Structure 1
Amino acid sequence: MAPPRHAQADTVAPMSQRPEAENLHRERLELLRHLDRLTDGPMTVLGFVWLGLLVLDLTRGLTPGLQFLSNVIWVLFVLDFLLSFTVAPDKRAYLRSNWLTLVSLLLPALRVLRAIRALRALRLLRATRSLNLVRLLTSLNRGFRAAGRAVRRRGVGYVALLTLLVALVGAAGMLAFEDVPPARESGLTGYVPWLWWTAMVLVTMGSDYFPKTAEGRFLTWLLALYGFAVFGYITASVASFFVGRDQDAEGGEGEVTNAALRRELSALRQEVAALRAALPKREGEEGEP
C-alpha cells in the first residue's frame, strides 16, 4: 500500500531543505571571508593605534582628544564585531573563537569606575587594577591579531614584532600596577626603567626587584613564560642565520675548488692519452733490427 500524500510531502521537504541550508551556510562563510578581507587593512592599523593608546593611558593618561579617538576606535571595533557576528553562519562557534575580542569590547563600557576613583577606596583601587590587567591582556590579544595580519609569514620577523609589542605593553602594565614605594626606591620611577626591567625579564635574565601587587606578579609570570617560550626560538633563528651564511660561503669556495680540480683532472687525462698514443710507436721502433 502506498504511503499517504502528506507523508510523502514530509519526507521530500526536509531533503529539499538540506541543500538550501548547506548553500546558505557556504554563502555566509564566503561573505564572512570577503568581509574580513575588506576590513583587514583598516582593522590592522586601528589595532596598533588602540594598543598605543592603551600604553599612553596606563603610563600618562589620555587627553580629551585622545580619549575621544579611543572611543571612536572602540565604536568601530564594536560595529565590525557585530557585522561579522551577524554574517557568521554559526554564532556559537564564532563566539567561542572570538570571546577575548568580545571581552575587550565590553571592558571600555566599564570605565565608570574611573569617575569615582577620587574616593581612593582600597577595594576600588584593586578593582581598577584588575580591570586594567584584563584590558591589557585583551588589548594585547588584539595587537597579536593585528601583527598576524601585518606579517603574513610566521617567521622570526613575526616573533620579533610580537616580542616588541609584549615589551611595550608589559612595561606600561608594570608601571601602572607597581606604582608602590618599593619600586620607586629601586629606581623604577618611569616608563623607560620599567621597559628595561621588562626586557630583562623577557631575555630570562631577571631583575633585583620583585613585584609586590598581585596584578604585577601575574603579569611578571606571563612575561617570564613568554620569554622562556620565545627567547630560545629567536636565539636558534639567529644562530641558524649565521650558520647558513657560513655554509653558503663554504659552498662558494667549494665550487671554485671543484672547478680547479676538474681542470687539473682534464689536463692529466690529456697527458695520459698522449703518452698512451706514443707508447706503441716506441715499442715498434725498439723491435726493428
Structure 2
Amino acid sequence: MPMDDERRLREWERRGSVPLSIASLLFLVAYAVRVLVPDLPPGWSDLLLLITIVTWGFFILDYLFRVAVAPHRWAYVRRHWLDLVVVVLPLLRPLRLLQIYGKVQDLRMRPRLSLEARVMSYAGLSALLLGFAASLQVYADERYAPGADIRTYGQSVWWLCSTITTTGYGDLVPVTVRGRVIAVGVMFLGVVLIGAVVGSFSSWLTKSFRRADEQPDARRPPEGG
C-alpha cells in the first residue's frame, strides 16, 4: 500500500505541475491588476477576485491531497514545510514557474547551461518574481496607511530595489506591521540571492581560469623542434 501511495503522489505531482504553474501565474496577474488598477469596473473587479479565490482554493486542495496520499503524512509535512508556507502566502506561488524550467533541464541528457549559470538564472528569476509580489503587497498595505511614505507603486518599487540590494537608503520605510514583516523577508532574500550570485560567478571564473591554465599554449614551439 505505501508503494501505491507513493506512485499516486508522484503521478499527481507530475500531472499537476503545469496546471498549478498556470494557476500561479493567473493568481499573480489577477492580484496585480486589482492592486494596480483600483478603479476597475465592478464586473471586472469581481471577476479578478473570483480568479484569485478559485486559484487559491486550487492550491489548498493540491496541498491537502498530497498530504492525504503521502505514505507518512507528518514526515511529508515536515519535509515540505515550504509548501505549507506558500499555501498560506499564495503570492509566493509564482515560484512554481521556476519548476517548469528545472524539469525541462532534467529531461535533457546535458543541460544547456552550466551549474553556475543555472544558479544565477534561478536567483535572478526568483528575485524578479518575489520582488514583484513583495512590491505589490507593500503598495497595497501602505498606500492608505496613516503616516506612510509609500503612496505610489513607483515608490514601492524603489523601496524594493534599495532593500533587496541591501543598500537601504531609508528614504522610504513601511509603517504597517505586514509591510515591515515583508521588509525583513526582502532583506534576507537579498542577502541570500547576492551570496548565491557572487558565489556562482566566482566559481565560474575559477573554472574558466583553471581550464585556460590547463590548455597547452598553441604559440609555444614544441620541445626539441
Q: TM-score, normalised by structure 1?
A: 0.59
Q: How far did residue 241 of structure 1 move?
A: 4.4
Q: Tell me, in whole angstroms, the C-alpha distance in 1 between the residues paired with 2:92 and 2:214.
A: 43
2:194 maps to 1:228: no
Aligned residue number for residue 54 of structure 1: 31
Of 166, 170, 173, the match for 2:137: 173
Structure 2 residue identity aligned to 1:221 = V
Secondary structure (helix, strand or coil) at the match of 1:198 reads helix
Q: Which sections of structure 1, spanning at least 5 residues, go unmatched?
A: 1-23, 106-134, 268-289
Q: Tell me, in whole angstroms, the C-alpha distance in 2 between the residues paired with 1:246 and 1:98.
A: 39
2:70 maps to 1:70: no
Q: How far did residue 95 of structure 1 move?
A: 4.0
Post-superposition CA distance 1:15-61 (Å, at most 9, x none)? xxxxxxxxx11121112111211111111222232233333344445
Structure 2 residue identity aligned to 1:230 = L
Equivalent residues of 1:151, 1:158 under 8 A apart: no
Structure 2 residue identity aligned to 1:227 = G
Percent sequence identity is 24
Provide the alpha-carbon RMSD of the alignment. 3.1
Aligned residue number for residue 168 of structure 2: 206
- 5 Å-filtered alignment, 1:249-260, equals 255-258=217-220
Secondary structure (helix, strand or coil) at the match of 1:155 reads helix
- 5 Å-filtered alignment, 1:149-164, equals 149-152=100-103, 155-164=119-128
Post-superposition CA distance 1:78-121 (Å, at most 9, x none)? 4433443442223333444456655765xxxxxxxxxxxxxxxx
Equivalent residues of 2:92, 2:130 under 8 A apart: no
Of 87, 92, 95, the match for 1:144: 95
Structure showing the higher helix proportion among its residues: 1
Q: Which sections of structure 2, spanning at least 5 residues, go unmatched?
A: 39-43, 106-117
Of 148, 151, 155, the match for 1:193: 155
Q: Tell me, in whole angstroms, the C-alpha distance in 2 between the residues paired with 1:70 and 1:140.
A: 10
